Structure 1
Amino acid sequence: MDWEELHTNLPSLMTFLTVARLGRFTAAADSLGINHATVSRRINGLEKVTGQRLLLRSQSGWEITAEGRQVFEIAEEIEQSLAKLVSDDTSNAVTGTVRIGAPEAFTGHIAVPVLARVQREHPGLDVELFTSTQRARQNRSGLDLEIVVGKPEVPRAWERPLVEYQLKLYATQSYLDQHGRPATLQELGQHRLNYYVEAILLVQDLDAALTKLPQMRPGLASTNVYAHLTATLESAGIGLLPDFVADAHPDLVNVLSEEFAHPATYWAVVRQESLRNPAVATVYQALRDYADGGVSVQPGHSPTVR
């Protein structure tokens, strides 16, 4: 791509950058203040100019191809250079935007308190959190940092365990009074389970928890852990919930506490090239410090960072 082509396609490069980060054309259109057709036209035009397929559709949205990774990195460099032109900050303060994908429970109970502290120390740092419970993406997706459940295997990436927790069974006392408290795992077959939609549950460690349980009737199945929590608080069944989430609610009773607890671990995945960005390195280090501090997630309290 020569200078004339680059100059002409700057809007397309920035549009591609936004789609890669957000994973969806509609989300990119809303972010940029343009329509879906314009996003599609710009991406198609950029692919014609580069002669490469830059994006591929996956179950979780649009992901960057191997060829698109180089274009993405160039677009990031251009974005950072343009940001310097309009920045009044001439100090060495950490600035820029870090985009993190993480499950809802990790985001609400761990990431937000930790990152709020980082932002207080670095006012020029922006953080965008995208909540989802899925496997780590094999191709770079525009996320600077991913938090996943279970050990990931991603080429050219750093992987590190952050927080251990347990999935346990919970119900309200009113539910147990009405439907009976199961005394054994086998008796769970008479109850509804509030958990993920099994047909689309792609995280092995979360799916493995179900193999330890008898077949239960689906309760309110959802892709969102807080829906499981709310359904359980509303006495709509027994919830299979992270202990650090459920234990913050005194109305919930841990059912079969001696017979069942499924261990799980949140892992951080960050690609090597992302760590060259001081903003990403700062956020990653803050989460590492939290993990290295050995601080457990206390119900109803924000975690602290050393």
Structure 2
Amino acid sequence: MISTRDPNPEWLMTFLAVARLGRYTAAAQVLGVNHSTVSRRIAALEAAMGGHVLTRAAGGWETTALGARAMATAERIESDLRSLVEIDQPGLTGLVRIAAPDAFTALYAAPALAPLQIANAGLSFELLSATQRVRQTRSGVDIEVAVGRPDVRKALATPVFEYALALYASEEYLAEHGEPRTLADMSRHRLNYYIESALQIDELDIAVDELPPTLPSMRSTSVFAHLAATVAGAGIGLMPDYVAGLAPRLRRILAEEYHHPIAYWAVTREESLRNPAVAAAFRALVEYDAVRAGRTAGGRRRTGDRRQDFVPPSGGAR
């Protein structure tokens, strides 16, 4: 009979989920239990080990030195359990949760991750659309994609690909309202862009600093709404060039006067990278820009001269 001082494998696997996701609620969702069950299992593990395995940080829970020992054991258990099903279900298994802006999710992340999904029957993804500031510590997701370079600690941040915010309008709109010849002319036009009060990304906020105040316009938290409004002639759209490329009817305007380069960065917790499925997904996101460039004539320039080399940890160690 197992004594009350012997760590239960179930407690260890629950701890592993919290260590990787940074939140009890996120771990509970992945494990299919409630928050109190996660809290009770962590408390039982700490009582068995005689100390704290997690410590609260600014943006989520982080492992202590004792927790690092528990994590190594939990990863060995996870590996052993995975080996039991590899004969019937070979390859990567588990759930990978990724938060990213909606355009990136639809046009980049989904096709980048599709080969992994196809090749691994036991692997699943949850893609959460979110355009928000990167938190100091990853919390609730395995990978977060940010607009602009994030300031994080105890996490790996790697540039994914560069794009540019530019101004676009439909030919019908320009024929009716005239084409602006200078940035100052933009004051006589409507601008389809983000809702200022809801915008949390500095890089996207400063993108309008060069523009004068514009007429009342259609604002949205979705870049696809910016695109639809611009195609419909509701104003001039300020949007990523790779999104505007979805609508051949749009024409870029003021190209010489306005060009706001920007980049997406992928961020993941150090603990999350120890999961082979997360490491593979992270690599797929980082490398997909090269794949796209190879498939498309005149493909977007890679971020290669600024990209950090990414080597996923092996054997559960860093």
TM-score (norm: length of structure 2): 0.72
SS at structure 2 position matched to 1:254: strand
Partner residue in 2 for 1:64: 60
C-alpha displacement of 1:143: 1.2
After superposition, what is the alpha-carbon deviation per residue over 1:124-167, rounded to whole angstroms, capped at 9, x for unaligned?
22111111111222123121111111111110111111111011
RMSD of aligned residue pairs (Cα, Å):
4.1
Which one of 116, 119, 122 corresponds to residue 117 of structure 2? 119
Q: Paired residue for 2:252, among 241, 249, 254?
A: 254
* Partner Cα distance (1:85, 1:102) in 2: 32
Aligned match of 1:109: 107
Give the gaps of 5 or more residues in structure 1: 302-306
Deviation at 1:87, TM superposition (A): 3.7
Kept in 1: contact 2:169–2:233 (CA 8 A): yes
Is the alpha carbon distance of 1:296 and 1:196 closer, same or farther for their aligned partners in structure 2, counting shifts above 3 Å?
Answer: farther
Q: Does the 8 A contact of 2:27 with 2:38 survive in 1?
A: no
- Deviation string 1:28-52 (CA, Å, 9 cap, x unpaired) is 9998889xxxx56657767987799
- CA shift, 1:290, in A, is 2.3
| Structure-1 residue corresponding to 2:232 | 234
After superposition, the Cα gap between the structure-2 partners of 1:177 and 1:54, relative to the gap in structure 1 and judged at 3 Å, is farther
In 2: Cα distance, 1:236 partner to 1:165 partner: 24
2:128 to 101, 106, 130: 130
CA distances 1:227-273 after superposition (whole Å, capped 9, x unpaired) = 11111112111111100110221121212122111101011112222
In 2, distance between residues paired with 1:89 and 1:130? 32
1:103 Cα deviation after fit: 0.9
3-state secondary structure, aligned to 1:205: helix
Quote the sequence identity (%). Answer: 39
Separation in structure 2 between the aligned mates of residue 233 and residue 180 of structure 1, nearest angstrom: 16
CA shift, 1:64, in A, is 2.5
Q: Of the candidates 185, 201, 204, which is equivalent to residue 203 of structure 1? A: 201
- The alignment status of 1:220 with 2:186, answered yes or no, reads no
The structure whose Rg is larger is 2
Distance 1:216 1:28 in 2: 45
Contact 1:244 1:298 in 2 (8 A): no
Q: Which segments of structure 1 move beyond 3 Å, counting only runs of 4 or more? A: 2-7, 20-25, 27-34, 39-56, 65-68, 70-74, 76-92, 291-294, 296-299
The equivalent of 1:180 in structure 2 is 178
Match of 2:285 in 1: 287
- Number of matched residues? 288
Letter in 1 for 2:60: I
Q: 1:21 to 1:238 in 2, by over 3 A?
A: farther
Q: Distance in 2 between matches of 1:109 and 1:256?
A: 25
Aligned to 2:168: 170
- SS in structure 2 of the partner of residue 295 of structure 1: helix
Report the residue type matching 1:248 in the other structure.
L
